[in-house]
Amino acid sequence: MKVRKAVIPAAGLGTRFLPATKALAKEMLPIVDKPTIQFIVEEAKASGIEDILIVEGKQKRSIEDHFDSAPELEQNLEAKGKASLLKMVHDTTDIGVNLFYVRQPYPNGLGDAVRLAKSFIAGEPFVVMLGDDLMQDKIPLTQQLITEYEQTHASILAVKKVPHADVSAYGVIDPESEVHKGLYNVRKFVEKPSVDEAPSDLAIIGRYLLTPEIFDILDHQKPGKGNEIQLTDAIDELNKTQRVFAHEFTGKRYDVGNKFGFVQTTIEYGLTHPEVQDEVRPYLLKLAAQLKAEDEKKAAKGK
């Protein structure tokens, strides 16, 4: 069956970005000028996804309004002859996929958010895409997972090597064997293991292709780490009754779910953004030289 549907869970509390996320979904925070959720919707579209369900929390309005028309703004831009800005605004509405929304009443975890998509998915294979991770590669990561699915007809998670010290921030896989380069059979999926107990450094990143049987498990899934219903636990359960593979992503991953990653991503996107790249690069070089001089001065004083 063709993979046509995606779920974007966007109902987390986003506590790492407070106070910005007090009244705004974390997925609406922009990288330079584009909300992270728009990057995700664009990746879905580029991968052939037709229907997307966005799971929203209390900050519902901001996401729905972003992808809706904005008549007053559009009239204003038209009257002022700002054609390119007007196109940019239209592009967020004519985004080329159908968007649907559901609300998660309590932030009980990623597994709970995905569970709410059961009737929308209606027995089809589907992808889960997290706004925390922006991916760059020649072929979109979601498309890569779909291509693997077309061969295996099994669930496939995207993984990437992370520094060993960071494993406890992720779901981690225990790889059993390599089916072909970059595709693993998995013994176990472990949510946020301690550094000592982590079975590998291959961390689950924010793209999952799942078969609909995951919902039978999520319906009965007990809370795990952090007292939340963990998608990783349900996937580990699924792996006991049908194959679940891991696909190693070799492209560039930007982790925008934590503050430092967000700052890094903003800088790197700024370096290639057509409107600011000519200023960002010389600025960074000047700043780096200045910081180096300061460090040298400090070191000389310390001697």
Give the residues lining the site for ligand UTP (CB under 6 A): 9-16, 26, 55, 104, 107-110, 112-113, 130-132, 257
CB of 27 to ligand UTP, least distance (A): 6
CB of 298 to ligand UTP, least distance (A): 34
C-beta of 52 vs 110, nearer to ligand UTP? 110
CB of 217 to ligand UTP, least distance (A): 17
Ramachandran region, residue 122 (left: φ > 0; alpha: ψ -120 to 50; beta: rest):
left
C-beta of 5 vs 26, nearer to ligand UTP? 26
Inter-residue contact 121 to 218 (CB < 8 Å): no
Inter-residue contact 254 to 271 (CB < 8 Å): no
CB of 8 to ligand UTP, least distance (A): 8
The structure tokens 């059961």 sit at 118
C-beta of 10 vs 203, nearer to ligand UTP? 10
Number of H helices, E strands in the chain: 11, 13
C-beta of 111 vs 270, nearer to ligand UTP? 111
**List of E strands, the chain:** 5-10, 30-31, 34-35, 51-56, 98-103, 126-129, 133-136, 155-161, 171-180, 183-191, 202-210, 244-248, 252-255
Inter-residue contact 146 to 128 (CB < 8 Å): no
C-beta of 255 vs 280, nearer to ligand UTP? 255
The CB-nearest residue to ligand UTP is: 12
CB of 54 to ligand UTP, least distance (A): 9
CB of 179 to ligand UTP, least distance (A): 28
- Report cis status (omega within 30 of 0) of the bond before 163: no
> What span, in angstroms and rounded, lies between the C-alpha atoms of 130 and 11?
11
C-beta of 110 vs 134, nearer to ligand UTP? 110
